[in-house]
Chains A and B, each alone.
Chain A
Amino acid sequence: MAAINIQVSETPLVLYTLRRADDALILGHRLSEWCGHAPMLEEDMALANMGLDLLGQARELYSYAAKVEGRGNDEDKFAYLRDVRQYRNLLLLEQPNGDFARTMVRQFFYAAFADLYWRAMMRSTDATLAAIAAKSEKESAYHVRHCSEWIVRLGDGTEESHRRTQGAVDELWAFTGEMFEVDDSERGLIDGGIAIDPATLRPQWLKTVSDIVREATLVLPDNNWMQQGGRSGRHSEHLGHLLSELQSMQRTFPGATW
């Protein structure tokens, strides 16, 4: 009944699945914050679309994590009753929306990765993850296309849009390295054929990103210092505020069904 945080037994597969679920939820939530406030109605539609795709992915992944864990947790308990330190998403995805350029660059960096990642995960020996990957890959492919078009338009648009987009690239670049990191917990799953090694995707990701960035007349920063910590619950200050809003109902009315 109480609205205290749930306990999660983070076996490698549970932890793995929660990390991806948290990625999808947090980014989906961020995109949903745009709803009604986008630069044009077409983008209100598109941002909501992408947000819905991600929320859908999050729900499937949480449900699978709950099933694997087998301790009576469910999608809503995972989403609403874990605190900042229990969240496992990439730092990139919790970064605030900022202006439209920043939202698009964030989405582009991630989608260009997610598309490759889910495509590779379709070969997972875990049938559920392979099925989720197949669906997510289709969605990510659209996200990449949509964001790429915007990055080019904004980068090669006006002086102002160029400046804003370059600024977003510079600001967010340091959060991209974390996508390719693997810890011991995940290493075992990779060895077992359940997960794939994201590090192998980095050259292709870099090529996709570099090509679009070049077409957009932008440049990638040469600073390669990368932030990390999200996968083990060391987040930016932004996540706590996001969660306080996301979780407010469940925290205020413990145990109620909605």
Chain B
Amino acid sequence: MYTQALNTSEGDDRHIEDATRAAQFQARIDADERIEPNDWMPAAYRKTLTRQISQHAHSEIVGMLPEGNWIARAPSLRRKAALLAKVQDECGHGLYLYAAAETLGSSREELVDAMLAGKAKYSSIFNYPTLTWADIGTIGWLVDGAAIMNQIPLCRCSYGPYARAMIRVCKEESFHQRQGFEIMLTLCRGTDEQKAMAQDALNRWWWPVLMMFGPPDQVSQHSDTSTKWKIKRFSNDELRQKFVDATVPQAQFLGLTIPDPGMKQNANGNWEYSAIDWDEFKQVLAGNGPCNRDRLAARRKAHEDGAWVREAAMAYAEKRRQRSALQAAE
């Protein structure tokens, strides 16, 4: 869901195996053809996509935790059911993204192991805590809103399975985004305490959400290859600006103040925002966000606690196989 911020450059380790095939491959991309799992592709394309799709999958799964934190405490039965369904959707996104990554030749187990070992990244936004109910509204409104900005272009990504997964994911994400906005609207039309809760959540999430789009273009290490391969279609700053321009009127409608006193609209109608604290972003990426340790620990615990269940399922399947083999032999 939130991969833009995580792309890292393939850079020099590209090994284009065969100039003719590579040229044919690029020609297909240039002609806006979709690359499918059995098609030839450069190893670096495979590697870049495996990393991006699996990071995206990890983000969906880790992303279940901050929102899952409020399922038990959701303030009404309607909200409780909607939140549980939403977090379940995210799990579903994770599942089909792992499936998309598997079409590139890595197993889900390998990919998950890399995440649990701290070797694979997930979106940094989930390393922030959900402290109040308003955080659930804000995540839907802004985090899912930013995710949609990132993902809509991915629906046209050159790799078929990823593009198709994104179409489905985007539909559900836009539903989540509206749901989040509606939570915020209810808070902003509620008591003073509720409105303050909404403003506080916006204050805490605004800057981390802007960071979701990744480093500014002038320092971004994003490879040109991702653009050339039509995995990435817009720059980080382009998407960030689009997001800000879409969000400011929504905040105004809610009666909330974006925590950026320096923000102003320029002659083109774009909202210019103040400098982002990229040191914070780097710290969170490096593992020093408020919840990095908790998130990883929770995923590891689920994995370890579930090991005996997975083993039992395998053992039972094996027993069944042996029994039916025995029956067939009789």
A residues whose Cβ falls under 8 Å from a Cβ of B: 25, 29, 32-33, 35-45, 48-49, 51-52, 55-56, 58-59, 62, 75-76, 79-80, 99-101, 152-154, 156-158, 160-161, 164, 245-246, 248-250, 253, 256-258
Contact = CB atoms under 8 A, between A and B. Distances in A.
B313 interface: yes
Given A35-B88, A52-B84, A245-B72, A154 B309 contact: yes
B309 A256 contact: no
Contact of A152 (B64, B133, B311, B316): B316
B87 A76 contact: no
Interface string B47-81: 00000000000000100110010011111111111
B81 A55 contact: yes
Contact of A32 (B72, B187, B194): B72
A161 B312 CA distance: 6
Residue with the greatest number of chain B CB neighbours at <10 A, chosen from A35, A59, A79, A158 = A35
25 contacts: A35-B64, A35-B84, A36-B64, A37-B298, A38-B302, A39-B302, A39-B307, A39-B310, A45-B88, A48-B88, A51-B84, A58-B77, A59-B78, A59-B81, A76-B77, A80-B75, A100-B309, A154-B312, A156-B319, A158-B308, A158-B315, A161-B315, A245-B72, A245-B73, A257-B190
A41 B108 CA distance: 11
A87 B84 CA distance: 23
B191 interface: yes
Interface of B: 61, 64-65, 68, 71-81, 84-85, 87-88, 91-92, 94-95, 98, 133, 183, 186-187, 190-191, 193-194, 298, 301-302, 305-313, 315-316, 319
Majority secondary structure, A binding face? helix
B68 A36 contact: yes
Nearest to A245: B72
Contact of B309 (A39, A246, A248): A39
A45 B91 contact: yes
A257 B183 CA distance: 10
Contacts of B79: 258
Contact of B308 (A56, A164, A245): A164
Contact of A59 (B75, B77, B95, B316): B77
Given A152-B316, A153-B313, A164-B308, A257 B302 contact: no
A48 B91 contact: yes
A35 B68 CA distance: 6
Nearest to A104: B309
Given A40-B306, A258-B76, A258-B187, 6 more contacts: A39-B306, A160-B312, A161-B315, A248-B73, A249-B133, A258-B183
Residue with the greatest number of chain B CB neighbours at <10 A, chosen from A55, A101, A248 = A55
Contacts of A56: 81
Nearest to B183: A258
A37 B302 contact: yes
10 pairs of A and B residues whose beta carbons are closest in the complex: A39-B306, A157-B312, A161-B312, A249-B75, A39-B309, A258-B75, A48-B88, A36-B64, A36-B68, A153-B316
A40 B72 contact: no
B64 A99 contact: no
Given A100-B306, A253-B191, A37 B301 contact: yes
Contact of A48 (B78, B87, B305, B319): B87
Contacts of B98: 41
Given A157-B316, A158-B312, A164-B308, A52 B133 contact: no
Contacts of A36: 61, 64-65, 68, 87, 91, 298, 302
Given A158-B311, A246-B72, A41 B91 contact: yes
Given A37-B302, A253-B194, A161 B308 contact: yes
A99 B65 CA distance: 19
Contacts of B319: 156
A152 to B, nearest CB: 7
A48 to B, nearest CB: 4
A227 B80 CA distance: 30
Contacts of A153: 312-313, 316
Nearest to B94: A41
Nearest to B91: A44
Residue with the greatest number of chain B CB neighbours at <10 A, chosen from A41, A59, A153, A246 = A41
Contacts of A161: 308-309, 311-312, 315
Contacts of A258: 75-76, 79, 133, 183, 186-187, 190
B306 A52 contact: no
A128 B80 CA distance: 24
A160 B193 contact: no
Contacts of B73: 245-246, 248-249
A28 to B, nearest CB: 8
B75 A250 contact: yes
B80 A32 contact: yes
A60 to B, nearest CB: 10
B316 A156 contact: yes
Contacts of A29: 72
A25 to B, nearest CB: 8
Contacts of B315: 157-158, 161
A258 B312 CA distance: 43
